[in-house]
Each structure stands twice: as structure tokens, then as C-alpha cells.
Structure 1
Amino acid sequence: MEHPLEGKVAVVTGASSGIGEAAVLELASRGASVVAAARSAEKLKDLARRAAASGVLAVETDVSDRDSVEAMIERVLGEFGRLDVLVNNAGLGLSGRVAELRAEDLRYVFEVNAVGPLNCMQAALPHMGRGGRIINVSSVVGKRAIPKVGGYCSTKFALNALSDSLRVEVADRGISVTSVYPGTTRTSFRDNSRRTKDEKRGWRPKGVTPDKVAKKIAAAAEKGPRDVYVTLSDRLFVAGVTLFPGLTDRALRSWAKD
């Protein structure tokens, strides 16, 4: 039986590790031709070597650089002649209390986490037809900001706003826009985040593997749902903080004191 992604071409940004790497492998396993885009050329080469049987194409890309993104999309079209799925996964963390955040850090993280997806969507959309999928990897903290990562959370709120607007704007073209909201994921993301100071970041749940998030992304590439949560606890967290914002504030105060 033919798989829904057979013959489709997918681009995954932030593909050199973590969720992005897992998404590349999962999409390829489901029959898609996958372009792995990231800044780390060495990691991309390693990924392409491990996925050689699947024909993954690695393209060094800086999503915050519009010229780099457009060159990547041109490479995709030159190699495959089409573009069906865009997974905006590239992202950078930022920790620090709002009163102490450096504006230059926040600007840079916005360039990667919000302007980067914008660059990719604007470059990809002219080449997408009916059935096209845009999948933006957000976070549960893009629904409710938490202490000491307010700068990072604000970039995910911005990405959610872009997704919600675009979803309506392209609906008549038959293109879907999905927001994926992972909770804690077991990757090196936290270690690679920018820090304002040497602040303690508070307790975090153990989290899920990147593979679990990747399966949700691949399913979204097949079906194009509006919103995707990785676990039931992620969904319950968002529901709870939406229904009881004041109670959530009080619950988070002890975390903010550390």
C-alpha cells in the first residue's frame, strides 16, 4: 500500500540534532524525499551518511539569513522540482529573568525562532500547491510563559501568532499550517541555550525522546491537523494554565525565587 508521503518532498530545518534529526529520519522512513537544513555542515554530513539509503539531501542553511534560506529552497527545487512539506524546527533557547535579559540576546533569538520560520515560509509558499503542509515546531511554553525563560517563551508566542494568521490566509489554497507543542524533550537544546547569567533553571520533567516528537511531526505531514500535542500531560498543562491563569502564577512563584 502506498504511503501518504511517497513522492513528497519535505524540508526540515534545525536538522543536525535532536527533534530535527529525528524528524528527518522519520519522514524518510515514510517515503518522503527529505532535505535536512541546518548551520552545522559537519553534523549534516554525518546525518546524510547515516541516512544514505533514504537519499536525504543535506543543505547548510542559516534560517536567520534570508539569502541562505532562498538558496536552500532553490536547491530543493533544482534537485526535486517540488516542495510539499516544510518543518520549521530550527530554534535557540534563552534563559534569564526579564529584568536582566540582554536586548541583543533577545533580538538574536527572535531572528532564529521567529524571523527564521518567517523566512522559510515566505520562500517556500510560492512553490507549494494544494495539499502542502507547513509545520511549525513551537512549545507548550509558547502557550504559557514560565519564569526565567520569558525571552525564549516570547519567541514561541510570536511563532504561534504567525502560524494562526497564516493558517487562515492560505486555507483557500489548500495548504495546512500545523503548530506542534512539545513539552520537555531529551535533547541537548537546554545545554546549547544562551544564558543571561548562571541562573538555576528550575525543575523540569524527564521529558520524551526526540523520536516521539518526530512521529507526531510526520503524522502531521500526512494529515495536516491544526494543533499537535506530544503527550496527554502537555495538553493538560496547556488546558490547565488557560483555565486557571492566576493559580498558575501562584504555583510558579516558588520556581521564580530560586
Structure 2
Amino acid sequence: MTESGFRGRVAVITGASSGIGEATALALSRRGAAVVLSARDEERLRFAEREVLAAGGEALVVPADLSRAGAARELAERTVERFGRLDILVNNAGVGLSGRIGELRMEDLRYVFDVNLFGAVSCIQAALPHMRPGGSIVNVSSVIGKRSIPKRGGYCAAKFALNAVSDALRVELAGRGIAVTTVYPGTTRTRFSENSLRTGDEKRGWRPRGVPPEKVAERIVRAIERRERDAYVTLYDRLFVALATLAPGPADRALERWVGS
């Protein structure tokens, strides 16, 4: 597609108040899409909206807490009411959770699943009745949704579950011409970790510096254009998953050393 290849299309982006979601909304808007910005923080959404409008794009702000019943349906309805269609859904909203499995608070784990999994599924169910052939659903997972790591097991579990939803949904929608893409970012330079729920000892080993959210956003846009099945952001991300899959024992030992360093 050209820079205007998304013109006339409408994209809903959850978690759009900052980081990957905000960057994805701006990237899609620059290519001609009308964007619907959704998250809990309306003030930050308004800032993102101003960025889109200043660049000549079209935006609608719909504040929503996806852990609340009915929020996803309201998001889809307001999108169609304003634009008459819904072509792209980017399920990016998420909350982190740190802590050893033996110490996790069940209310924290339930909330993470409410947002990261059930919120995404609710958005899919709300969007599908309005999607036409050529539509796209993007579920933003993580490389640690492919290989769980210590002190992030609860968060990883929600991302593993989201991957399972993507794989089933992709086959279920094949006859409708709707693409389903799972994106697996690695470490990204956002405020995500600062906003994570935390339990107990948070000390971990070395972490890569990560990539800017704009790089992840460009990868998401390219995956939508190409209707890809899976999308990794960097070669390092892909290698991490491949090595952990092919050599799980050595990966366990490496992670044991990493978490204790």
C-alpha cells in the first residue's frame, strides 16, 4: 500500500493513550485511516487526538475500561455511529503483572485476564458484526507470550491465552476474508512497566534497552498491509522465541541465572 493506502478505512485502537497504541494510531492516521482512540485515561487520549488532528487526520476518542461489561460493545457502536464502518481492530490494551507465581494475589491475576484477554475477546465479538471482507484484527501479544519468564508468569499466561484465541479465530474467519494477526513485541521503551501491578520481590536480571514504540507501530501497520499471520519486531525477538522453543532446558537454566543475577 501507499502512504494513503488506508484511506477510507476505520481503525479502532485500544490502549491508545500512550506507547504502542498511541504510536499505532498516529501511524495508521498518517496513512489515511480514521482512528478511534480508546483507553481509560481520557486526558491522555485527548492529547493523542490533538496529534492526529494536527497532522490532518480524523479521530474519535472513546474512553473505556475494558474490564467493565459492555464497554467493548459501546466502543464498537460509537465507532459505527460516527464513521459507518469498522475495518481494523488493534487489541493493544493491557496491564502488566510482576511477581512469583506462589505470591500472586488472585485479584491482580483476575484483573490482568479481564483486561488482557477478556477485554480483547469482548472487542473482537463487538467488532465482528460490523467487519467486512478485507478487515483485520490485530492482537498485540509479547515474545513472553511464547516463552514464559520468571516473575512474569501471570502476565505471560494471559498473553499465551490471547495467542490461543488468535489461532482459533484466524481459522474461524478464513471464509469471511478477515485477517487475524498476532504481534510479538519484545522490550519496548514505554511506561508499561511503571504501570504494572507488582507483588513481592521485583529484582530481575539484565534487560535489553528495547525499541521505541514507533518501531512496533510501523511493524503493526506493515503486518496489516501484508495480512500476516505472525509479526515479530526485531531479529532478537524472533531468535529468543526460536531458541527457547528448540532448547527449552538450556533456556530454563539461562533464565534461572538471569533472574538471580
**Given the two structures, how large is their TM-score scaled by the length of structure 2?**
0.96
The Cα shift of 1:47 comes to 1.1
- 1:163-219, Cα deviation, whole Å (9 max, x unpaired): 000000010100110000000000010111000024213321000000000001111
**Matches of 2:202 and 2:214 in 1, distance apart?**
30
Deviates more, 1:192-201 or 1:175-184: 192-201
Select which of 89, 94, 97 maps to 2:92: 89
Which residue does 1:25 correspond to in 2?
26
**Is 2:76 aligned against 1:112?**
no
**Is 2:261 aligned against 1:240?**
no
**Matches of 2:226 and 2:126 in 1, distance apart?**
23
The Cα shift of 1:66 comes to 3.2
Which residue does 2:80 correspond to in 1?
77
**Is 2:219 aligned against 1:216?**
yes
SS of 2:182's partner is: strand
**Is 2:50 aligned against 1:49?**
yes
Query: Mapping of 1:135-174 within 5 angstroms?
Result: 135-174=138-177
Q: List alignment gaps of at least 5 residues for structure 1.
A: none
Q: Could you say what the CA RMSD is over the residues aligned between the two structures, in angstroms?
A: 1.2
Q: List alignment gaps of at least 5 residues for structure 2.
A: none
- 1:63-82, Cα deviation, whole Å (9 max, x unpaired): 22231111111110011100
Answer whether contact 1:88 1:136 (CA < 8 A) is retained: yes
Structure 1 runs of 4+ aligned residues shifted over 3 Å read none
- 1:127-184, Cα deviation, whole Å (9 max, x unpaired): 1110110000000000000011100100000000000000000101001100000000
Letter in 2 for 1:34: V
SS of 1:191's partner is: helix
SS of 1:51's partner is: helix
The Cα shift of 1:2 comes to 7.3
CA 1:217–1:2 in structure 2 vs 1: closer, same or farther (change >3 Å)? Answer: closer
